[in-house]
Structure 1
Amino acid sequence: MSYGFETLAIHAGQEPDGRTGAVIPPIFQTSTFAQDAVGAPRLGYDYSRSGNPTRDSLQECLAALEGGRHGLTFASGLAAEDTLLRAVCKPGDHVVIPDDAYGGTYRLFAKVAQPWGIDFTPARLTDVDAVRAAVTDKTRLIWVETPTNPLLGIADIAALAQVARDAGALLVVDNTFASPYLQQPLALGADVVVHSTTKYVGGHSDVVGGALVLNDETVFEQAKFHQNSMGAVNGPFDAWLTLRGVKTLAVRMDRHCDNAERITEYLSRHPKVAKVLYPGLPDHPNHEVAAKQMRRFGGMISFRTGDPASAEAVCNRAKVFTLAESLGGVESLIEHPGRMTHASVAGSALEVPADLVRLSVGIETADDLLADLEQALG
Structure 2
Amino acid sequence: MATGNRAVVFHGIEDMRVDTVDYPKLEMPNGQKAPHGVILKLVATNICGSDLHIYRGSFAAPEGMLLGHEMTGQVVEVGPDVEFLSEGDLVSVPFNVACGRCRNCRARHTEVCETTNPDASCAAYGFNLGNWDGGQAEYMFVPYADFQLLRFPDKDQAMEKIRDLALLSDILPTAFHGLMEAGAKPGSTVYIAGAGPVGRCGAAAARLLGASCIIVGDYDQKRLDLVKRNGCETIDLSQDVPLTDQIEAILGEPMVDSAVDYVGSEAHGIGSDADKLMPQAAINQVMDATRAGGATGVIGVYGPDPLAPTQEGQEGTFPLDFGKVWIKSPRISAGQAPIMHYNRELMMAILWDRMPYLSDMLNTQVISLDEAPDAYAKFNEGSDEKYIIDPHGMIKN
Give the TM-score taking structure 2 as reference length. Answer: 0.32
**As a proportion of its length, which structure holds more strand?**
2
Give the TM-score taking structure 1 as reference length. Answer: 0.33
**As a proportion of its length, which structure holds more helix?**
1
